[in-house]
Structure 1
Amino acid sequence: MSRIAFTPTRIAFVHPDLGIGGAERLVVDAALACTSKGHEVHLFTSHHDPARCFSETRDGQLPVHVHGSWFPRNIAGRFYAFCAYLRMIITAIAMALFYPRFDVVVVDQISACIPFLRIFSPKSKIVFYCHFPDQLLTQRTSLLKRLYRSPIDWLEERTTGLADTVLVNSKFTAGVFNATFRSLQHIRPQVVYPAINVAAFGSADDNGGGRPRGFARLALAPNTTFLSINRFERKKNLMLALEALLGLKQQLTKAEWEHVRLVLAGGYDERLPENREYHAELQQFAQANGLADHVSFKRSFSDEEKIQLLRSCDCLMYTPTNEHFGIGPLEGMISSRPVIAVNTGGPLETVVHKRTGFLCNPTSEAFTAAMLEIVRNPDAAEQMGVAGRARVLDKFSFAAFADQLEEVVQNLIEAGPSPAAATADRRRQPSRKAKKL
C-alpha cells in the first residue's frame, strides 16, 4: 500500500448462504480482514446453519444477521436462480431498512440486490465481489431454460455495473468478466486474491516441517495419503481423483499399493439432491473397481478437522477444471504439502508446476503420473511442500489480503459521494422554482 491513513467505517457484507465453501471462506476472511483494521463489520445472509458454517460466524467473532430465510430456495424443484436472487434482495432491503447506515456494503456473488441498496441506502459505497459470472455457471440445454435465464442474465450484467467498485478473485476471472459483460467494458475489475489465515494452519513444524508422511520415509506412518477437499458436486470433478487412483493401482506393485490411501473430503448438504447423488456415485465407483478399502469419505468437517486432514496427508489433489480461483491449493501449500491440480483457471496463478506441485491436464492419465511421482520420489515431494508454504507466505498471506481490502475501502471513502447518492441528494433539494413560490 502507498499510504497507511485508516478511517474506521461501518462495513456490511451481504452473502447469499453462509455455509462451508471457498466463496464462504473468502467472505469470512474478508470480514475478518476489515475487522483487523479497526472497522465495525456485520455479515448479512439469507441462510446460516450453526451446524454447517465456519467457526468465526458461530463463536461471536463476526455478527451474523439472517433475513429472507423464509423465502423458498426453489419452486417445485425449479427456479433456483430466481429464488436465490429474491432471497438476496430481501436480505439487502432488510439490512438497509432495519440497521444504521453502513459506509461500505460488500455484495458477494449475486449483484441483483445492488439497485435496491441504491434506493434504500443511497449514501453507502457498494463493492461487488465477482467470483465468476453467474450466467456461465449453468447450462442452457433447452429453449425453455434459455428463455428463463435470459432476463436473469440481463439483470446480472446491468446490476453489476451499478457497483462503485468491482473486485474479482483472479486474473483468470477478470478476463472472463470482460469477455462476458460486453456492456461493462469501461469497468476494469480489481484483482484481490483470496488469502490464507496462516496462523490457523500453524507453523512449518506443526505441519511436519515440510516432510510428507510417505511410506518410503517413515516406517511408523506407512501410508501415502492423497487428499481431496471439495464439495460433493459434479463440477468439482471428484471422479477424476478416483479414476487416477485406479490408474495408480495398475502401475504400483502389490506391496506399494497396500500403502496408498485417498481421502475425499468436502462440503455436503443433505438438502441438495446433487450432493446426495454424487456422493453415492463416487462410492459405487470405488466399490465396483476394487478401491473401497483404499478410499475414505468425509462429508463436511470443522475447521479443526480440515487442518488435521491436511497435516495427515502427503499430497493435496485439486480436480475442478476452470476453477475461478480455488482456495484448496493454498491450504495444501501452507500445510507444506505438494499440490496436484488441473492446469486451468486459478491454480495457474497459485501452483508452480514442478516447484510447488503439478499442473496437469484434466485426465486420469496425467493425474496418475503425478501421483506416481509423489509415491516414488518423496524427496521431491518434500521440497515441493517447503516451496509451496514459502510461496503462500510471500504472495497470499492474510496480512497482504487485509492491506488490499483496506486500500479499496479507503479509496471509496476518500472518493466522496457515489453518483447515485449525489442524484438522491439533488432529488431531495427543492427546485429553484419551488423556493420562489
Structure 2
Amino acid sequence: MVSVVFLHPDLGIGGAERLVVDAALALRRRGCRVQIWTAHFDPAHCFSECRRPALGVHCVGDWLPRTLLGRCSALCAYLRMLYVAAYLVFLSGAEFDVVFCDQVSACIPVLRLCRRVKRVLFYCHFPDQLLTGRPTLCKRLYRLPIDWLEEYTTGLADLVLVNSKFTAGVFRRTFRSLSRLQPDVLYPSLNFSALDREAAAGEQEEPPLPPGRDLLFLSINRFERKKNLGLALEALHSLRNRLSQADWQRVHLVLAGGYDQRLLENVEHYRELQETASSLQLADRVTFIRSFSDRQKVSLLRRSACVLYTPSNEHFGIVPLEAMYSRRPVIAVNSGGPLESVVHQVTGFLLPPSPDSFAEAMEKLVKAPDLRAKMGEAGRNRVLQTFSTDAFTEQLYQYICKLTLTKMTNVE
C-alpha cells in the first residue's frame, strides 16, 4: 500500500486547500494511506472533510509568527513550512513513499535529507513570486533571495504538476533555469458526491435574502483585492440603467467569500466593498456573506441565476466548475484558467473585466430565461465530461504509481 503525505501551509478554505483535500480523498479511494501536515488548522474554518479522522490532519508549528510586525509574510510562510517538514522528517516517525507539497517549495531540501522520503511531487498553483508587487527597492531586495529559493527548490522535485495550461506557460516563462522541466497539467476536479449530498440535505442553512429577488447574481471568492470583487458591484450599478423597473426589482447580488479575521486584507477589503456598495446606492441590493458553510454555498448556487467570476489571470478557478455543475451560467473575465473551463456563449460568457461588458451579459440572462437554462445544461455536461472526479483520481494515482515505480527501479 502506497503511503502519501501532503504538506500544505494553511488548511483553511480556498481553491488550493480544496485541491489538496480532493487529492487526499482521491488517493485514499484508490487504497493509499494519506496524511495531511500543515502549519495551521482550525476545525471551525476548514472544509468539512478535514474534520474526519480518516484524513489524518496533523498541525505543527502554528506558534511560529505569520508576519513580523505585519510584514515579511512570505519569509514567515517559508519558515513555518520548513519547520513542518523538519518535524515530519526528524520527529514524527511517519513512514511514507511520496510527499505531495504545494505553494511553498522551500521545504523540499529538508525532505531530501531523509532517506524515508522516496519521491517528492510539487503542485504549482502559480509561481509565488508573481503574487506580490515590488513597489520599492527594499521590497525588491527582500524578495530577491526568496524568489531565487522558490525557483531553485522547485527544481528539486521529482515531478511538478500545474493546474492549467495557462499556469504551465507562466511556469516556463518565470522559471527560466528550469527549462528541462515540462510540468504536466492536472486539472482540479469537483467532488460531485459532496455537492449532491449537500443539495439533497435541503436548505436548512439557507442564507436570508430579501423576498421577491428571484434573479440572483452570485460571486464566490475570497475577500482579497486581487479577486476584483468591485467589478461585480460596478456591473450591477451599470445593469440598473439597462433594465426596466420591474426587472430591476427582481435583481439581487450576493458576494460570498472566504474571510479570515487574522488577515488584515480580508478585514480591510470587506469594509471597502461595503463602502463601495453604499456609494453606488446599492446597499439594499447586495448581501455580503463571510465564510459560508458548504451547505450554504450549494443553496446559493441553486438559487442563483448566474455566477460572476471577476478575477483576471486566475490560475484555474474552481468556482466556475461548481457553477456549471449546478447548471448555472458563468460570466468570467477572459483570461487565465476560465479560458479552459468556460466555453464562451455556450456555458457562459468570457468578457473583458469592464462593468459594461459584464452588465450587458447580465442583461441578456435576465431577459432570456431559456438562455440561462440552455447554458446551464451545457455547463453541467462539460464538467461531467472534462472535470470528473474519476478522471482526476485516475490521473493523480498514475502519477503516484509512476513515482514509486521509478524509485523501486532505481533501488534495484
Interval of TM-score (by shorter of Structure 1 and Structure 2): over 0.9
Matched, 1:364 2:358: no
Structure 1 residue 138 displacement after superposition: 0.5
Distance 1:207 1:169, change over 3 A: farther
Structure 1 residue 61 displacement after superposition: 3.4
Structure 1 residue 246 displacement after superposition: 0.2
Kindly indicate whether the alpha-carbon contact (under 8 Å) linking 1:14 and 1:45 is maintained by their aligned counterparts in 2.
yes
SS of equivalent residue, structure 1 residue 112: helix
- In structure 2, give the amino acid aligned to 1:167: L
1:217 maps to none
Separation in 2 of the partners of 1:54 and 1:418? 38
1:392 maps to 383
Separation in 2 of the partners of 1:199 and 1:155? 40
Separation in 1 of the partners of 2:364 and 2:392? 33
Matched, 1:103 2:88: no
SS of equivalent residue, structure 1 residue 61: helix
SS of equivalent residue, structure 2 residue 241: helix
- How far does the alpha carbon of each residue in 1:38-90 deviate from its partner, in whole angstroms, 9 at most, with x for none? 00000000000111000111132311001110110011111100000000111
2:208 maps to none
Kindly indicate whether the alpha-carbon contact (under 8 Å) linking 2:95 and 2:116 is maintained by their aligned counterparts in 1.
no
Distance 1:284 1:418, change over 3 A: farther
Separation in 1 of the partners of 2:321 and 2:266? 24
Separation in 2 of the partners of 1:73 and 1:275? 15
Matched, 1:119 2:110: no
Distance 1:19 1:222, change over 3 A: closer
- In structure 2, give the amino acid aligned to 1:324: H
Matched, 1:262 2:256: no
Equivalent of 1:343, from 330, 334, 345? 334
Separation in 1 of the partners of 2:350 and 2:57? 38
- In structure 1, give the amino acid aligned to 2:300: L
1:410 maps to 401
2:149 maps to 155
Kindly indicate whether the alpha-carbon contact (under 8 Å) linking 1:340 and 1:358 is maintained by their aligned counterparts in 2.
yes
Separation in 2 of the partners of 1:360 and 1:330? 17
Structure 1 residue 253 displacement after superposition: 1.4
TM-score w.r.t. the length of structure 1 is 0.89
Kindly indicate whether the alpha-carbon contact (under 8 Å) linking 1:263 and 1:298 is maintained by their aligned counterparts in 2.
yes
User: 4+ residue stretches of structure 1 with deviation over 6 A?
Assistant: 205-208
Matched, 1:248 2:217: no
1:382 maps to 373
- How far does the alpha carbon of each residue in 1:112-163 deviate from its partner, in whole angstroms, 9 at most, with x for none? 0000000024542100000000000000000000000000000000000000
Equivalent of 1:298, from 279, 286, 289? 289
1:316 maps to 307
- How far does the alpha carbon of each residue in 1:161-197 deviate from its partner, in whole angstroms, 9 at most, with x for none? 0000000000000000000000100000010000001
Bigger shift: residues 306-315 or 161-170:
306-315
Structure 1 residue 101 displacement after superposition: 2.3
1:83 maps to 76
Matched, 1:22 2:19: no
- In structure 2, give the amino acid aligned to 1:18: L
Separation in 2 of the partners of 1:267 and 1:256? 30
Separation in 1 of the partners of 2:152 and 2:409? 17
Separation in 1 of the partners of 2:409 and 2:260? 39
2:179 maps to 185
Task: Say what the alpha-carbon RMSD is for the aligned residues.
Answer: 1.9
Structure 1 residue 288 displacement after superposition: 1.6
- Which consecutive unaligned segments of at least 5 residues does structure 1 have? 1-7, 209-219, 426-437
Separation in 1 of the partners of 2:110 and 2:36? 18
Structure 1 residue 302 displacement after superposition: 1.3
SS of equivalent residue, structure 2 residue 113: helix
Structure 1 residue 293 displacement after superposition: 0.8
Separation in 2 of the partners of 1:314 and 1:321? 22
2:87 maps to 94
Structure 1 residue 260 displacement after superposition: 0.1
Paired-residue identity, %: 57
Separation in 2 of the partners of 1:29 and 1:62? 11
- How far does the alpha carbon of each residue in 1:329-356 deviate from its partner, in whole angstroms, 9 at most, with x for none? 0000010100000000000000000100
- In structure 1, give the amino acid aligned to 2:13: I
- In structure 1, give the amino acid aligned to 2:235: A
Structure 1 residue 290 displacement after superposition: 1.3
SS of equivalent residue, structure 1 residue 70: coil
Kindly indicate whether the alpha-carbon contact (under 8 Å) linking 1:93 and 1:120 is maintained by their aligned counterparts in 2.
no
- In structure 1, give the amino acid aligned to 2:272: E
- How far does the alpha carbon of each residue in 1:223-274 deviate from its partner, in whole angstroms, 9 at most, with x for none? 2000000000000000000000000011111111111000000000011111
Q: How many residues align?
A: 403
Kindly indicate whether the alpha-carbon contact (under 8 Å) linking 2:39 and 2:81 is maintained by their aligned counterparts in 1.
yes
Separation in 2 of the partners of 1:194 and 1:378? 30
Kindly indicate whether the alpha-carbon contact (under 8 Å) linking 1:315 and 1:339 is maintained by their aligned counterparts in 2.
yes
1:173 maps to 167
1:10 maps to 3
Separation in 1 of the partners of 2:405 and 2:212? 56
Matched, 1:226 2:217: yes
Distance 1:305 1:121, change over 3 A: farther
Matched, 1:36 2:16: no
- Which consecutive unaligned segments of at least 5 residues does structure 2 have? 203-210
Kindly indicate whether the alpha-carbon contact (under 8 Å) linking 1:125 and 1:418 is maintained by their aligned counterparts in 2.
no
Kindly indicate whether the alpha-carbon contact (under 8 Å) linking 1:164 and 1:418 is maintained by their aligned counterparts in 2.
no
SS of equivalent residue, structure 1 residue 409: helix
Distance 1:66 1:121, change over 3 A: farther
- Bigger Rg over Cα: 1
Equivalent of 1:198, from 173, 192, 195? 192
